[in-house]
Amino acid sequence: MIRVELPPHLQTLARVGPEVELDVRGVVTQRTLLDALEAKYPVLRGTIRDQVTLKRRDFMRFFACSEDLSHESADAALPPAVASGAEPFMVVGALAGG
């Protein structure tokens, strides 16, 4: 299972804890992972990426394995440790605002 860490506001919205588990078929990419996340928790649609363009929202970041993957292609394979569930894929709110 893929592990995904969510920021507090999205935990509240989805009514889940800090980490959720997803079953992602095929190559695990940002796109397939977020597709699976939104399918399981429809309330998160539009909160991480735009619903129409599917672009990552400006103040959202994706971290995994101590790397910032925010600017990687949405279709690039995520690290094997994420695909195996050894490491979580972290959805993080950027430091901004007050």
Partner 1 sequence: MSGVRVLVGTRKGAFVLTSDGKRDRWDVAGPHFGGWEIYHLKGSPVDPNRIYASQGTGWHGQLMQRSSDGGKTWEAVDNKFVYDGVTSTHQWYDGTPHPWEFKRVWHVEPSPTDADTVFAGVEDAAMFKTVDGGKSWHELPGLRTHGTGSKWQPGAGGLCLHTILIDPTDHARMFIAISAAGAFRTDDGGSTWKPINKGLYSKYIPEPTAEVGHCVHRIAMHRSRPKTLFMQKHWDVMRTDDGGESWTEVSGNLPTDFGFVVDVHAHEPETIYVVPIKSDSEHYPPDGRLRVYRSRTGGNDWEPLTKGLPQQDCYVNVLRDAMSVDTLDACGIYFGTTGGQVYASSDAGDSWRAIAEHLPPVLSVEVQTL
Residues that bind partner 1 (CB under 8 A): 7-10, 13, 43, 45-48, 50-52, 57-60, 93-94, 96-97
Least separation in angstroms between residue 80's CB and partner 1 is: 29
Residue 30 or 87: the one with the smaller Cβ distance to partner 1 is 30
CB 60 within 8 A of CB 49: yes
CB 79 within 8 A of CB 85: no
Residue 14 or 74: the one with the smaller Cβ distance to partner 1 is 14
**Tokens standing for residue 25:** 């078929």
Residue 89 belongs to what H/E stretch?
A: strand 89-93
Residue 28 or 44: the one with the smaller Cβ distance to partner 1 is 44
Least separation in angstroms between residue 38's CB and partner 1 is: 12
Integer Cα distance of 72 and 21 in angstroms = 22
